[in-house]
Amino acid sequence: MGLDLQYFKKSDTTEHFRKKNILPISELTALRHAVDALKDLDTRELKIQSTRSGAMLSKFRGQGLDLVDLRSYQLGDDVRHIDWHTTARMGHPYVKVFMQEMDLEIQVVVQQDAGMYFGTRHELKISTATRAAMILLFHASRLEHSSSCIVVRERTESYPRVRGEQSAMNMAMCVNTINWVDDPCYGRDTVFSAWCRYGAEDQNQKNIFLIRSGVKRLTEEDREALSMMVHHHSVTIVEILDPMDLELPQAGWVSLLSPDGKIRRINTDDSEQRRGYKKVRETILRDNLQYYSGLGIDWLPVMNDQDTLKQMRFILS
């Protein structure tokens, strides 16, 4: 007995299927309250990955520096920060410790390609990706950070930066409406590398959370674009995974439609086929992780058959 697993076609986009894959308002509200309940999280989760490296305590408001403490001078400290009054009183050098005030934008980018319209368990990857994007937007508003969102596809959707809980909720609802489109880019690649180059040219430093479908081999254009982006921004890649991304089930003959439009039949009862598939996917995943690590990019896997918020708690802490 065979199993046909293909990307959904435009003719399959019934009203029932649209409603099934667009998150209800009640779930959005519950998700916002769940993120708001994370009161025990430290607000120092954002790190700067650039020439100003290191974890920076920041209010993410305004411009300038606030004096927060004094400490003894250490080798390598800037002599311009020496507090001469305290130095004269204590008899040895003391320097000022500052908290930097800045407005750092959190940008959520969803790569909406054909791989997002795939799922063998609870839901399609695009629904999980939408939920992950909303969690990041709600978390940014809870910490009073400004946030923006971009959906990368053939017609890129851009939502400018906002601040505040209600503005983040409005943006999340807009992102949710494009969860399902009339003509998703089936069999066509998105302009991901082109967007990365555009992001690299943006000199305004951001924390970028890139949500993409895994497991996909990085092209040379993708690698070059990501290496340019990390020079100016802190990048975290959130990969949406399905159990079948890593291992084929034993389900007889399976018809698969590849992104280039070709149909291939595979006998999943063949143990050699399953081992070969798993080995190739693990190799792609390992190569991608090595490249991310070399660039200082954080990576988080999110399975579409598990609780999204629990899996993302790692990057929210």
Q: Same domain for 161 and 72? A: no
Quote the domain boundaries for residue 80.
64-101
Q: Same domain for 184 and 280? A: yes
DSSP 315: T
| Confidence band, pLDDT 50/70/90 cuts, at residue 246 | confident
- How far apart CA 188 and CA 186 sit, in angstroms, is 5
Q: Which of 115, 175, 116 is nearest to 149 (CA)?
A: 175
Q: Same domain for 228 and 286? A: yes
One-letter-per-residue 3-state SS of 208-253: EEEEEECCCCCCHHHHHHHHHHCCCCEEEEEEEECHHHHCCCCCCE
> Does a structural domain hold residue 53?
no
Structural domains of the chain, count: 2
Q: Same domain for 30 and 78? A: no
Q: Same domain for 116 and 212? A: yes
> Does a structural domain hold residue 161?
yes
pTM metric for this prediction: 0.70
Task: Tell whether the model's pLDDT for residue 217 goes beyond 70.
Answer: yes
| Confidence band, pLDDT 50/70/90 cuts, at residue 238 | very high
Q: Up-side HSE of residue 68: CA atoms within 13 Å toward CB?
A: 11
Q: Same domain for 21 and 32? A: yes
Q: Same domain for 288 and 172? A: yes
Q: Same domain for 77 and 191? A: no
> Does a structural domain hold residue 23?
yes
What is the per-residue pLDDT across 24-45, written as a single tens digit (0 to 9) for each?
777 777 877 787 776 544 444 4
| Confidence band, pLDDT 50/70/90 cuts, at residue 56 | very low
> Does a structural domain hold residue 131?
yes
Q: Up-side HSE of residue 67: CA atoms within 13 Å toward CB?
A: 7
Specify the higher pLDDT residue, 10 or 302. Answer: 302
Q: Same domain for 79 and 160? A: no
The burial of 257, by beta-carbon neighbours within 10 Å (0-12 exposed, 13-18 middle, 19 or more buried), is given as middle
> Does a structural domain hold residue 52?
no
> Does a structural domain hold residue 35?
yes
What is the per-residue pLDDT across 86-124, written as a single tens digit (0 to 9) for each?
999 999 999 988 765 556 688 898 888 778 888 887 788
Q: Same domain for 87 and 152? A: no
Q: Same domain for 201 and 281? A: yes
Q: What is the CATH number for 187?
A: 3.40.50.410
